[in-house]
Amino acid sequence: MRFPTPHTLQQIATIVGCDSVGPENFPVLGMNEIHVVREGEIVFVDHPKYYEKALGSRASVILINKEVDCPDGKALLISDDPFRDFNILTDFFKPFEKAHSSISDSAEIGQNTVIQPNTFIGNHVKIGNNCVIHSNVSIYDNCVIGDNVIIHAGSIIGSDAFYYKNRPDGYDRLKSGGRVVLEDYVEIGALCTLDRGVTGDTTIKKGTKLDNQVQVGHDTIIGQKCLIASQVGIAGCVVIEDEVTLWGQVGISSAVTIGKKAVLMGQAGVSKSIPGGKSYFGTPVQESREKYKQLANVKKIPSILKKLEE
């Protein structure tokens, strides 16, 4: 997430009320999660396991809960609670805007687009030409919808990321300041939920089709011409490459990559990245041909045991 205007390190330190290491006028252009952070942006880290990764990332400013040596060309924000302070920055730069109508005055809606009754379209939403948005759809603030997109009844575009920190008094939510971007010719079935990015975009690329009751987690990127059947659950930060097919009730863990033209059979469970161009099924997922061989061999066990008994 880029800031509307560049800020200095001192200005950011003042907003969150913490100490800084680096020139006071060090330029800060935005904030992001570590997997999408860019030069000029802030990333936060609050666990020793990830200190080295954050310090070595593309981030120019590291919001960290330990005094460490500052890498060359970077700056530090020393905080007793980076998670809390990252939320403070999100609230400062992307504050919640109350809606005053079902379709916001700041929304941009293209030519020949049909908005059915009882639909909510939030602040600063952009919708292209020739779209059909069916009844009871909710499109949260700042989402971007391309041309020739269809969204069926009851779907929610841009809900918050499912991202929490476990505190002694309960779970603390990491606030979401990102967007959902649907490119041209995307179709979203009924009762789907697409979470926005924490600071970046959840993106569904051109020509991809989602069936009913599909969940897409925050910051996930789904490629072009993918087919995703009913009741698929995709966690956050997943990358699904072009022309992938996911059949019903597939479950995908966070931060994995599904290779181009992969096919996942119904109820497959994916916990690690898998290459494209192959068919998979089972939990944990395996290539279909290998899995079929294993199942065939399992069926032989009773006859093998019977021979041994003889």
- Name all domains of the chain by residue range, CATH numbers in brackets: 2-93 (3.40.1390.10), 108-292 (2.160.10.10)
Instruction: Please state, in angstroms and rounded to a whole number, the distance separating the CA atoms of residues 172 and 188.
Output: 30
What six digits make up the tokens of 64? 């960290």
Q: How high is the pLDDT of residue 130?
A: 98
Pairwise CA distance, residues 155 & 193, whole Å: 6
Instruction: Identify the CA nearest to 230 among candidates 217, 206, 207, 247.
Output: 247
Residues of the chain with pLDDT under 70: 310
Note every long-range contact of 199-205, with CB atoms under 8 Å and residues 24 or more positions apart, other chains counting: 199/1, 199/30, 199/31, 199/32, 199/33, 199/36, 199/90, 200/1, 200/32, 200/33, 200/36, 202/178, 204/180, 205/242
Calpha distance 17→12 (Å, rounded): 8
In the chain, helix, strand, coil percent, each to 5? 15, 30, 55
Inter-residue long-range contacts of 201-207, CB under 8 Å, 24+ positions, other chains counted = 202/178, 204/180, 205/242, 206/146, 207/183
Question: Shortest CA distance to 228 belongs to which of 270, 187, 257?
Answer: 187
Indicate if 218 belongs to the active site.
Answer: yes
Q: What does each C-alpha distance from 294 to 165, 250, 300 come to in angstroms?
A: 41, 21, 10
Written as one letter, the residue type at 200 is G
Kindly give, in sequence order, each residue whose CB lies less than 8 Å from that of residue 111, ignoring residues fewer than 6 positions away. Answer: 129, 130
Report pLDDT for 306. Answer: 77
Q: What is the per-residue pLDDT for 80?
A: 97
Q: Cα separation of 170 and 154, whole Å?
A: 30
Choose among 94, 192, 107: nearest CA to 144: 107
Q: Are 256 and 268 in contact (CB under 8 A)?
A: no
In angstroms, how far is CA 26 from the centroid of its own chain?
Answer: 30
Separation between Cα atoms, residue 44 and residue 32, nearest integer Å = 8
Q: What is the pLDDT of residue 289?
A: 84
Candidate list 7, 134, 152, 218, residue with the active-site label: 218
Q: Are 232 and 250 in contact (CB under 8 A)?
A: yes
Helix (H, G, I), strand (E, B) or coil at 281: strand
Give the separation between CA 251 and CA 248, rounded to whole angstroms: 9
